[in-house]
Amino acid sequence: MNGARLVLVRHTEPDESMRGRIYGRLDPDLSDAGRAHAERLAATLGGEAVAAVYSSPQRRALATAAPLARRLGVETIVEPGLREIDFGELEGLSVAEAAERYPVEAAWMHAPAAAAFPGGETVSAVCRRAVAAARAIAERHAREAVVVFGHAVTTRAILADALAMPPDAMFRIDQSYGGLSIVEWFDGNPVVRVVNAVRL
């Protein structure tokens, strides 16, 4: 391996109370299905030569990372830049409620580059911090593989940057619960190897 290899993992299924609701800053734990899925991910990734495990500070990401960290005998390193977008006043609303109260903001996935959430963050700010976090991890782990547990928006931002995609196209990249993506860095240049796989 000539460069850093980052295995990006979206957290697994959150608590059922979040079904159909908007959550970014909100901090639900995993559902029973999500915990079982996290154990399967640990079994999948446990055979890899992994130098470190990183995670967003949010519970759903940390809980997804925990089984792999235990299996590898390492401490999960918390990276604040990987936290999910803050949807501000939309947090906790159902999709229908958000569409009724905030019709412009609720349609943000069609043109995310300029999206901003009242009382929350802009998508451009989230993209900057997520990409900066990924690049810092890559610089820290030249010639090593690490697993990075995060969220749908932040992982899309990292992948879109690596693929030189415009931010408005980031939702063309699917991110399912527990999806695995791989980016390798060579002399600071990212190469995307895998996107949203079930297993490696």
pLDDT range class, residue 2, cuts 50, 70, 90: low
**Residue 37's domain spans which residues?**
4-87+124-197
Mean pLDDT for all residues in the chain:
96
Residues 131-146 as b or e (16 or more Cβ within 10 Å = b):
bebbbebbeebeebbb
Tell me if 48 is assigned to some domain.
Answer: yes
Question: What's the whole-model pTM score?
Answer: 0.96
Tell me if 170 is assigned to some domain.
Answer: yes
Active site residue: 13, 79, 84, 184, which one? 84
Q: What is the CATH number of the domain that holds 162?
A: 3.40.50.1240
Distance CA 54, CA 81 (A): 11
Tell me if 183 is assigned to some domain.
Answer: yes
pLDDT reading at 141 higher than 70: yes
Tell me if 147 is assigned to some domain.
Answer: yes
Q: Give CA torsion, residues 10, 12, 18, 20, to 10 deg.
A: 70
Active site residue 84: yes
Number of domains in the chain: 1
Tell me if 132 is assigned to some domain.
Answer: yes
Q: Tens digits of per-residue pLDDT, 6-31?
A: 999 999 999 999 999 999 999 999 99
Active site residue 121: no
